Amino acid sequence: MPEPAVAATSLTYRVGDATLVSSVDFTAARGELVAVIGPNGAGKSTLLNLLSGDLQPSEGQVVLDSVDIADALPGDLALVRSMLTQRTPVDIPYTAAQVVNMGRFPHRRDEANSAERDSAAVAEAMDRTDTSRFAGRVYATLSGGERTRVSLARVFAQKTPIVFLDEPTTALDVAHQERIMGETVRLSREQRAVVVVLHDLNAAAVHADRIVLMNQSEVVAGGRPREVLHEALLSEVYAQRMVVVDHPFRDCPLVLAADGSP
């Protein structure tokens, strides 16, 4: 069996007396979309930042494409993984197309790369995220949802084998949520490993191959959507009574919040 593209072992991250991620083992394979879900403060974004190398773990190891990221140079890491964070500045004084083109920077030292290849990657990424029509607009003048899609296009243009996305549907309308999640699935079907943090449980149910459920810094469940999305477990983790039924027209669970506490 091939080695996973993403492999974390005993991953722990502490800040002072607080443990934000505790002894997490995590894998993701090429061709797989793994959704990380859980309530606020569960450790989802911290886990993603540890997996991507943006944070250094207090304990444990992360291996991306057989490379221990503790030994990887930033430039080499940028060719292996791309990352959408929640920390993108709002006042970027560049056009949308220029921001997307920043995703091509790691490829500039590749002799096989070219300006034409960069342009093609940028055009494809903007088409996939429905951002081509405001390519010339200054990023700071875009709406929140438009900025999210431009940032996603930058990630897509980077064309890495591993993709980490932290809440990619934030501030998107329903149509663009569906489009972006569809493109996220398409990325995984292009034999990339895609790890995405989601608050929308039904987006995870519909689109993810596997779901990892976190609570209070730990992984409490993992598996296919039907294996993780159980009423009792979700009600306990989210401190909200949940009902899980069959989706009326998709082969997946449908999660509904019910009245009252669990």
Closest CA to 65 of 10, 3, 15: 3
Mean pLDDT for each consecutive 10-residue tract of the chain (262 residues)?
85 95 96 97 96 95 93 90 86 93 88 85 96 96 94 96 95 94 96 96 96 97 96 96 94 90 64
Give CA–CA dist 118/2, Å, rounded.
31
- CA 155-161-164 angle, to 5 degrees, is 50
Predicted local confidence at residue 2, as pLDDT: 61
pTM greater than 0.75: yes
Q: Which residues contact 38 (CB under 8 A, 6 or more apart)?
A: 44, 213, 214, 215, 237
